[in-house]
Amino acid sequence: MDFALTPQLQALRERTRAFIAEQVMPLESDAGNLAHGPAEALREELVARARRAGLLTPHASRELGGLGLSHVEKAVVFEEAGYSTLGPTAMNVHAPDEGNIHLMEQVATPAQKERWLRPQVQGHTRS
């Protein structure tokens, strides 16, 4: 396997790194960052920032609004998200939602995808 990063993936990695450093890490000291994760208001703010940055739910298919990343591309982007405890939540790549999004994309019916998957990919709901 060739694990060399394409110029496009290098650019996505840098964009993700900058987003986490500039938009997410400053919120780690926010009062809404609780012991068991961010309060709902902080989660909504994080998701809104990722949406504006074009980095919300990057692992979902392009059809659903994601970036349609390969497994190698996901690894690179998820690593950058993980440099902040809030990064995976901001980008909607946290457990259990990341795995559930992947699973629903593979096995859900079109009706189930519209009812359950699309709102989750858009950051409106959680598993």
CATH of the domain at 67: 1.10.540.10
Task: Quote the domain boundaries for residue 69.
Answer: 7-92
Taking the alpha carbons of 39, 73, 112, 118 in that order, is the dihedral positive or negative?
positive
Q: Which residue has the tokens 């909504």?
A: 44
- Name residue 68's amino acid: G
Q: CA 74, 94, 112 angle in degrees (round to 5)?
A: 90
| Prediction pTM value | 0.94
Residue 97 lies in a domain: no
What is the spatial distance between Cα 75 and Cα 41, in angstroms, rounded to a whole number? 28
Please report whether residue 64 resides in a domain: yes
Kindly state whether residue 111 falls inside one of the protein's structural domains: no
Alpha-carbon distance values, 92 to 1, 7, 71, 80, 99 (Å): 28, 24, 16, 13, 11
Residue 1 has a pLDDT of 74
Mean pLDDT, residues 13-18 taken together: 98
**pLDDT at residue 2 is higher than 90:** no
- The verdict on residue 115 lying in a domain is no
pLDDT for res 118: 97
- The continuous run of DSSP H or E covering 72 comes out as helix 71-81
Number of domains the chain is built from: 1
The pLDDT of residue 122 is 97
Question: Considering the domain boundaries, does residue 112 fall inside one?
Answer: no
pLDDT tens column, 57-97:
999 999 999 999 999 999 999 999 999 999 999 999 999 99
Helix, strand, coil shares of the chain, percent, nearest 5, are 60, 5, 35
- Asked if residue 33 is part of any domain, the answer here is yes
